[in-house]
Amino acid sequence: MTSKIDGAPAPRPAATPVASAPVPAAIERSGSPRAQAIAEVQAASADNVRLTGEAEALRVVQQQAKAGPPPLDMAKIDALRAALAAGTYRVDPMDIARRLDALERELSI
């Protein structure tokens, strides 16, 4: 396939992954250096996984998300609705600023 766009190279076909072929039993039993090297690589690649701190934190968050949302405090919600309806609810800008700052600090870890 050719491409005539001002010298642009022709697209390359996508590489296909190569699966590791099983080692023939005759080679495994031979005790050859190749068989020993293959056995060492297979032993070293046993199922060992180490998670970073970030991965562990993500796992915890996923478990919490699967558990569902925390329960709602309906008494507090009703009190807020009543205060809003009565016009007595007051916003504390310093409290909002403190909470935003705390959230920003948590996110920047």
- pLDDT tens for each residue of 37-88: 877 777 766 667 777 888 888 999 899 888 888 889 999 999 999 999 999 9
8 A C-beta contact, residue 85 and residue 91: no
8 A C-beta contact, residue 38 and residue 23: yes
Nearest to 41 by CA among 70, 26, 20: 20
**Which residue blocks in 1-109 are alpha helix, DSSP H?**
25-30, 33-44, 53-67, 74-86, 93-107
What is the predicted pLDDT for the residue at 29? 60
